């Protein structure tokens, strides 16, 4: 970005970088994530994919939605059964924190998953209200 001196040049370069990021996520990351999900979970029901690629209308950043399996009834249609993974060039990713997460199954069967631990880096709640 430093070599792009004028504002117009910087804007043009930013659009080029956004397009390159979108292409890489669409062509490389999303298919690899789909492969990993299929290797771990098998093929999803109904011939659909585990992963869904999108471009966010507001940020112009690529997004991959992981539509995870669930045994729960679908009575809560407003609650999406997916995890949103955002990629892109947004530069302000603060405040972020490291959080330990634990699935409900580990809480229900602690003797089977006593050593389960997964740390996740995510934006802090305050970010939502900026």
Rounded distance between C-alpha atoms, residue 3 and residue 77, angstroms: 49
- What does the pLDDT look like over 43-92, one tens digit per residue? 998 889 999 999 988 777 899 999 988 877 766 666 778 888 888 765 55
What DSSP state is assigned to residue 78?
Answer: T
Rounded distance between C-alpha atoms, residue 111 and residue 106, angstroms: 8
pLDDT at 62: 92
Banded model confidence at residue 122, pLDDT cuts 50, 70, 90: confident
Rounded distance between C-alpha atoms, residue 65 and residue 75, angstroms: 21
Rg (Cα) of the chain, in Å, rounded?
19
């Amino acid at each position: 970005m430093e070599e792009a001196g004028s504002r117009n040049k910087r804007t043009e370069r930013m659009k080029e970088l956004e397009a390159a990021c979108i292409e890489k996520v669409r062509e490389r990351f999303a298919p690899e994530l789909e492969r990993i999900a299929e290797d771990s979970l098998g093929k999803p029901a109904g011939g659909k994919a585990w992963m869904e690629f999108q471009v966010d209308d507001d940020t112009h950043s690529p997004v991959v939605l992981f539509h995870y399996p669930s045994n729960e009834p679908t009575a809560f249609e407003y609650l999406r059964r997916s995890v949103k993974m955002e990629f892109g060039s947004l530069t302000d990713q603060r405040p972020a924190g490291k959080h330990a997460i634990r699935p409900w199954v580990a809480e229900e069967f602690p003797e089977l998953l006593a050593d389960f631990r997964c740390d996740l880096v995510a934006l802090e709640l305050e970010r939502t209200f900026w």
